[in-house]
Every structure is written in C-alpha cells, then in structure tokens.
C-alpha cells in the first residue's frame, strides 16, 4: 500500500531545506563558547537544533499516523477553507515583524508578532475568539519579556527600542 504525501510532510521537507541553508551560514560564525561567552552563533544554533527536532517530530507523527478516512471531518473545521492561508499568514507576519522591528523596536515588534501568531493558531485550534485572545495576550507578554531578559540582561546585547 502506498501512502499519500500530505501537506505536513511537504512542509517538513521545505522547512528542513531552509533550515539547512540557514545552518550552513551559522557555521561560518565563531563557535559558541570558544572565547568563554555564548557569542553571536549561540542562539541561531540553538534554534536550528530545535527546528531539526520539530521537523523530525512532524515526519514521525505523519508516517506513524493511520491514513485518514475520507468521511472524517477536517481538523480545520473551526476556520473553513484555511488551506494555504495559515502558512501565508505566518510568512506575512514574519515580514511585518522585521519591518516593525526596524521602525518601532523589539518590544512593539515582538509583542505584536507573538500576539498575532498565537491568536491565529489558537483560534484555528479552538474556534473561540475570547479564549484565543486571552491566550495570545499571555503568550505575547511572556515571550516578549523572556526575549528581552534573555538578550539584554543575560547576554548584555542591545535591542532597539521605540525612541521618539
């Protein structure tokens, strides 16, 4: 019996390719902790490793899961016909994050980006606006504060702020 390749498998392979290209560029940086400090390559290497683990998890889940029955309701029933909109929205939000980061600084960009991503994916899963907004606000606050503490306080790096 042949198994149909799903969108999740294709997404995992595209992500694998893009992450490998990114990781090849990270390897040109000084190795973390070579001088006793994490250095600029630490966080990208950590993120590349997490993406590789995520790709592996996606592939294992997809190849272990049984073939879906044709009459089974779609997992995206909360938002009908979502299809390609989810990945396109995520890509657009990443681009918007870069633009907002440049003009408004880390706090505004990170808070907006994490709020929008959390809202989108939580609403996709639950279909409840109220719960999704509360979860997105909590997620946005936690990630923005953690990111700021991580870069500014732990590593002493400068993050641009919104300066009028």
In the numeric block, the tokens 């899961």 are attached to 65
Cα separation of 49 and 58, whole Å? Answer: 14
Domain boundaries, the chain: 7-64, 84-155
27: nearest Cα among 2, 12, 44: 44
More confident residue, 79 or 86: 86
Residue 162's nearest CA partner among 89, 87, 83, 104 is 104
Q: What are phi and psi for residue 139, nearest 5 degrees?
A: -65, -45
Is the model's pLDDT at 120 over the cut of 80? yes
The per-residue pLDDT for range 90-117, each reduced to its tens digit, is 889 999 999 998 889 899 999 999 999 9
Helix (H) or strand (E) holding 7: helix 7-26
- The pLDDT assigned to 50 comes to 94
pTM, rounded to two decimals:
0.57
**What Rg do the C-alpha atoms of the chain give, in angstroms?**
19
């Amino acid at each position: 019996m042949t198994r149909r390749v799903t969108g999740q498998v294709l997404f995992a392979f595209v992500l694998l390719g893009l992450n490998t290209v990114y990781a090849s560029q990270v390897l040109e940086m000084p190795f973390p902790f070579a001088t006793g400090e994490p250095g600029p390559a630490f966080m990208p290497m950590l993120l590349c490793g997490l993406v590789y683990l995520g790709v592996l998890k996606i592939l294992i889940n997809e190849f272990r899961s049984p073939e879906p029955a044709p009459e089974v309701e779609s997992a995206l029933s909360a938002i009908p016909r979502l299809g390609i909109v989810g990945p396109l929205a995520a890509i657009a939000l990443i681009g918007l994050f870069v633009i907002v980061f440049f003009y408004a600084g880390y706090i505004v960009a990170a808070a907006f980006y994490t709020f929008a991503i959390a809202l989108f994916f939580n609403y996709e899963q639950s279909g409840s606006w109220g719960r999704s907004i509360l979860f997105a606000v909590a997620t946005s606050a936690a990630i923005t504060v953690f990111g700021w503490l991580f870069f500014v306080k732990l590593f002493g790096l400068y993050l641009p702020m919104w300066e009028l």
